[in-house]
Structures are given as structure tokens and as C-alpha cells.
Structure 1
Amino acid sequence: MPELHEELKKISGLIDELIRKDDFPESICPRFLGKAVTDYPYTGGKRIRPAILMWCCSMLGGNPEAAKYAAAAMEIYHNWTLVHDDIIDNDNLRRGQPSTHKSVADFSVQHLSVPKRISKKFGIDYAILAGDIQQGWAVNMLLKSAEHGVSGELAIALSRRLQEYVNRMLISGQGLDMSYPFRDMDSFVAEEIENMLYMKTAVLLSFCAEAGGAIALNCTDFNDNRIAVLNRFATFVGVAFQLRDDWLGIFGDASKTGKTLFSDLISSKPTVLLVKTIDSLSPDERKEFRSYIGLRKYTPELKEKVRSFIRNSGAEKFVLDKIAKLTKDAKDLLGTFQNCRERELLIDLVDWLLARDR
């Protein structure tokens, strides 16, 4: 998909320039906090959310120039969730570099004479502040749309929906995800996990698609059928994306994903893959499989045993079939719009995201 990657590169360049030129971070103090705020937004990423927003805008006949501030805002907004996620998950790396809380902790020891024994808390405290400021920066960037081709009424409506709906849903989804390991895995059904995935992951993708359509139509009614179709399209993509992520966490290649395999089992985190496995096993098999959940280390032999349980139970096929159906449903929804270059780019993006190996 050379054209897709070339267009994503163009979007990335545009968003990078917009974010780097924005003056919002300039007055943040202390200075190391300002650097913590800009680290993730400045170091890039796939820029998938800006691409979805701008291509949905173009697909509905809108001017992508009018959508670029909203697109940059969503990239910044996404980054505050990463900063806080890394704290919650105790991850010290992000995109191959020290995560925000780790970077600040290291800086505090080297340049602020903070004792090493309290540097971790120091880093976490300032990373929380950095994520909070990033959220404010995102809203400010979104409101700037009103100065660049978006009506003031629509800019306010988008900001309100981001705070009133997306923010609440996304953080609630994270809250559910954090609580799930403390429940008995037998108590879950797949639909409950999928709903959490929508709240935690898909809701922001859905907002990006909605925002692009709303800007194209200059429409503040998010129940408009065209905007609602874009919402459903991105919802299907977001849930399928997370299901693929969970599958890669068991069956992927760590050298390609860059993530620790079996981390969901180590943390006793319920996924559709694990819940469906447990649900499909005999009592004796279930007892054995459950004994493999929550271990600190998995040998190659044990990994293969766990994988065979998941495969033989039918859970792997269930999840892969679910991803395939969501992929088809998402592309079918795009097919209701007039054929254009941006529609084809979105279709290619869906195929790439949901068949990825990393």
C-alpha cells in the first residue's frame, strides 16, 4: 500500500509542523515540565487519528485545510492518554524512548538533585501534570479551528462533545479495564469486554471520524445520518484494532510488535480471547488453563501450551472471525459514500490496521 503510507507521511508532516509551531507550551513552567508536555507530541507516531479526521472531511466534500487544527488537536489529546496509560501500566518505554514519567524521574536525579529513592514519585507527579496540560492544549488547538475555516458554533460544539462525551467515556473505559483483573474471569462475557474496548479505544477514533464529517457539513447535529455512519465505521475499526492487538499479544512476534508477549496473562487481564477460551473448555481443562494465568514468566513450552488451549477451544477463530466481520462492516459503511480518493485511502487504512503484525 505505497500510496497509503505516502499519504500518511504527508499528514504526519502537516500535523508535526502545526504542533511544533503552536505557542501553547511556551509559557509552561518549570521548563522541564514544558518539555514533558511536548515530548510525545513532538516524537510522532502513526498519526492515524488525524488521518481519519481529515480524510473523512474530504470524503464528504469538505476542505481538509479547515480540519487540520482539529486533527492536530486529536493527536495531542491522544498523547495525554498515553502519558497517563504509561503511569498506570508502569511502562518505562514509549516509542523506543523513556516514557514521560521515567524521563522526568531521570532528569530530576541528574539536574535537580532529587534523591533517587523519591525520583520515581517525582516523575509520576510531573507526568500527571504533563498529561493534564496536554488535554488543555488539545482543547485550545481544537478551538483555534474557529480562526481557520470552522464556524465558532461548530468549534464549540466539537469541544463540548469532546469533553462531555469522549472524555467521560474514554476515562470510564480505562477505569473498567483497571478493575477487571480483580474480578473472576468466569464472570465475563465477550460483549462486556468489547464494550470496554469501545469506551477505552474506539470512542476517540469515532470522534475523529465524526469531527471530520461535521466540519465538512458545517453541522452541529451529531445524530445526522452521515455523521452517525462515520461514527459506526470508526467504532468497528477501533474495536477490531484492539482485538487484533490482543491477538498479537499471544500469537505475535515480539521482535515485530516491540511488546512483551503474554502481558495480558501476566497481569490477569481479561480479553475476549481469554474469556472465550475459558468459556469453551471442559471443567478439567478450565482448571488447568486458569493455573497458567497470572504467572510471572512463561517458558517457550508453556507459551505453546497456552496457545494450543486457545486454538483448540475455538477462541482464536472466534476473535479472528470477529475482526474479519468488523473489517467488512466498516468497509461496507464506507461504501455508502461516493467513491473518491479519500474513501479508498480509508479502506486501505482499515485493511492495513486490522491485518498488521506489529
Structure 2
Amino acid sequence: MKFDPLFEALKEKIKIVDEVIFELIPEKEPKIIYDAARHYPLAGGKRIRPFIVLTSTEAVGGNPEKAVYAAAAVELLHNYSLVHDDIMDMDEKRRGRPTVHKVWGVNMAILAGDLLFSKVFEAVAKIPVEAEKVVKVLDVISKTSNELCEGQARDLEFENKETVTIDEYMKMISGKTGALIDASATIGGLIGTENNEYIQALSKYGRNVGIAFQIWDDVLDLIADEEKLGKPVGSDIRKGKKTIIVAHFLENASEEDKLKFFKVFGKYAGDVKGEGIIEEDIQEEVKKAIDLLKKYGSTDYAANLARKLIEEAKEALKALPESEARKHLELLADFIVEREY
């Protein structure tokens, strides 16, 4: 299998990072806040960001063992953002489990997120490299945190806008998803080398992979097998989520087709049980909306853009010396747009 070497490397590196994550957020008193903070890390997840940190360090000739605390830091930052995003989006499930605020309430979830955020800086302080490099890592973390907030703010603004342009979407997702994967690759490079060309190449790789990752998620929501996806196809349409596919459609569709689309878009965001609405009827309406997106090539546009970003990411890696680590980063990029869920 093409991706077997990648999965083996992922498995090996995740184990090391998880040990550090749970060292930083142990089972301790007050039990309630630590249980809430550990909830998402214990649920698993792809761990792509910490893998990129360690592999990027290795790809520039550095020692990945020196990057383990940095890898834990970016994963903790990611989980912090998920806890707060879920509160804002009022989501009830994450990684197959009830969200933190559903289990412990909004107030404790906010505190758990804040605890995870504080642990990011505890992890950075433990990175076993020169103080100057720790300061550089801290600078990347702080700027990335700003971008995450800006991306989420743009996403929240989208909820009150009838239409969103492709440019607006790309700015939003560059902050919300691209920034942290960019940071993961950049931090790995900073720890492993002084070569600025290598660090910039990794930054470009990470930003493109991060943006492509979210765009491919948007595509999968419309084309994936429902069992593999773990949710109904077209969930984004039901919720009224403004993706790049929707943005492309709105920039190209006729007024008549836009009206047809908006009759479905966002109309089934909540629980419809007890309202006399049959689930099969909803899915039939959602399918019609998906067909409209396909009619204007919007789904293909997004898929092709994701693949183009991945090719640019792999091209950026050519600035690095050939190595097994670089090959793993290339495989990860391919996996982003070949995965089925």
C-alpha cells in the first residue's frame, strides 16, 4: 500500500507525543477541569500537526527528539481551539464523543480550553534547544494564535452574510486551518536547522497542506461514502455552512438556481424530530442541492484546487535534501487529497 510507510511513521511518532501530552495534562485535582481538558486528546484524532513538527525537524537534518515538546504544544493549541470552536458552533459531537461543553457545561469547557492554552506555553518552555530558538518558537505560536482567532472571527461573520466570495473563504481558512499546520512545519524547521530557505519551504508546505486539508473536507462532505464519513452526506448544506464550493456556486449560478439552492441551504440545521419532517425527504432535498453544485462544476473546482495546493506543497519540499522524512511529508500531502473520510 502506498501510504503504509506514512502510517507506520505516524503510529511511532504519535506514541511519543501522546506520552508528553498526558505528562502535561495528568489526572490530578481539581479532577473536573483536568478530565475536561483530557477529553479530546484521549479521543484520539489524526495527530497530523505533531507528526509534521517531528518530521519537519528530521527532514532538515535535526534531531526529532528535541522537537517532542514542540509537537505536544501544537497539538494542545489545536485541542484548545476545538474546545472553544465547539462552544461557539454549539456542536454536540467531536471525534465520536460528546463535546466538552455537553459533558461539563459551557463554563467548565471555557476553563478547560484556557488550561490547554496555558499548557502550550509550559510545553514550549521545555523544548531542549537554545533560548533563542525557544523565543522564535514562541513568536510563531503567538502569531498563529492570532491567526486562529482571526480565522474563527471571519467564520462567525459568514453566518450573518448571505454570500461569501472565494477570496473571503480563502482568507478565513488560511487562518483557521492553514496557520496551525504552517506553524507545525515552521517550528519543526526552526528546531532542526538555521537554514532559512529550508524553514521558508516548510512554511509554504504547511500553509498549502492546511488549506487543502479543509477544502478536501468540504469536498468529502458532498461525495464521500456516508458510512466512512461518519455523518450524512451534505451535512454542510443542512447546516448552511459557507464552503468554497458554495462560494464558487454563488459566483457562477443563475438567479433561478440560486433560489432553488437557498430553499434547502441551512434549512435543516437543527434536530427535525417531532416536526413531522421525514429524514428521507430531507436527504432528497439535500441531494438536489448537491446536484446544483455539481451542475456548475463547483465540487470539481474545489477538488482541483485542493490537488493544486498539494502539488505546490510538494514542490516547496524540493528545496530540502532528499530523505525518508521528506518522503513522509510528501506522502502526507498526497494522503490529504486521497483520503475518503
What is the TM-score normalised by the length of structure 1? 0.87
| Partner amino acid, structure 2, of 1:280 | N
Deviations 1:284-304 (A, max 9, x none): 222222222121176332232
Alignment of 1:86-235 (within 5 A): 86-104=86-104, 123-145=105-127, 148=128, 150-163=129-142, 165-185=143-163, 188-218=164-194, 224-235=196-207
| Partner amino acid, structure 2, of 1:134 | L
Paired-residue identity, %: 32
Q: 2:19 aligns with which of 17, 20, 27?
A: 17
Moved more, 284-293 or 166-175: 284-293
Unaligned runs of 5+ in 2: 269-278
Change beyond 3 A, Cα 1:283–1:19: closer
Change beyond 3 A, Cα 1:300–1:37: closer
Residue in 2 aligned with 1:242? 214
| Partner amino acid, structure 1, of 2:197 | N
Shift of 1:184: 1.9
Residue in 2 aligned with 1:4? 6
Whole-Å separation in 2 of the counterparts to 1:300 and 1:270: 19
Shift of 1:242: 0.5
Moved more, 154-163 or 342-351: 154-163
Quick check: 2:80–2:113 contact (8 Å CA) kept in 1? yes
Residue in 2 aligned with 1:63? 63
Quick check: 1:16–1:42 contact (8 Å CA) kept in 2? no
* Partner-residue secondary structure (3-state), 2:159: helix
Residue in 1 aligned with 2:77? 77
Residue in 2 aligned with 1:313? 296
Shift of 1:354: 1.7
Moved more, 248-257 or 340-349: 248-257
Shift of 1:260: 4.1
| Partner amino acid, structure 2, of 1:171 | C
Moved more, 204-213 or 309-318: 309-318
Structure 1 vs Structure 2 CA RMSD: 1.7
Quick check: 2:50–2:74 contact (8 Å CA) kept in 1? yes
Is it true that 1:284 corresponds to 2:256 in the alignment?
Answer: yes
Quick check: 2:152–2:176 contact (8 Å CA) kept in 1? yes
Shift of 1:130: 0.3
Whole-Å separation in 2 of the counterparts to 1:181 and 1:357: 28
Quick check: 2:306–2:337 contact (8 Å CA) kept in 1? yes
Deviations 1:114-172 (A, max 9, x none): xxxxxxxxx11000000001000011111100xx2x11121122113311x11111011
Whole-Å separation in 1 of the counterparts to 2:229 and 2:90: 18
Change beyond 3 A, Cα 1:72–1:274: same
Moved over 6 A (4+): none
Count of aligned pairs: 328
Whole-Å separation in 1 of the counterparts to 2:218 and 2:9: 28
Residue in 1 aligned with 2:233? 261
Quick check: 2:43–2:97 contact (8 Å CA) kept in 1? no
Change beyond 3 A, Cα 1:178–1:228: same
Whole-Å separation in 2 of the counterparts to 1:154 and 1:36: 32
Shift of 1:218: 4.6
Moved more, 256-265 or 76-85: 256-265
Shift of 1:66: 0.7
Shift of 1:26: 6.0
| Partner amino acid, structure 1, of 2:145 | N
Shift of 1:88: 1.6
Quick check: 1:151–1:218 contact (8 Å CA) kept in 2? no
Unaligned runs of 5+ in 1: 105-122
Is it true that 1:299 corresponds to 2:282 in the alignment?
Answer: yes
Shift of 1:248: 1.4
Residue in 1 aligned with 2:40? 40
Deviations 1:62-118 (A, max 9, x none): 0111111101111111111111122122222222222211222xxxxxxxxxxxxxx
Q: 1:339 aligns with which of 299, 319, 322?
A: 322
Whole-Å separation in 1 of the counterparts to 2:229 and 2:80: 22
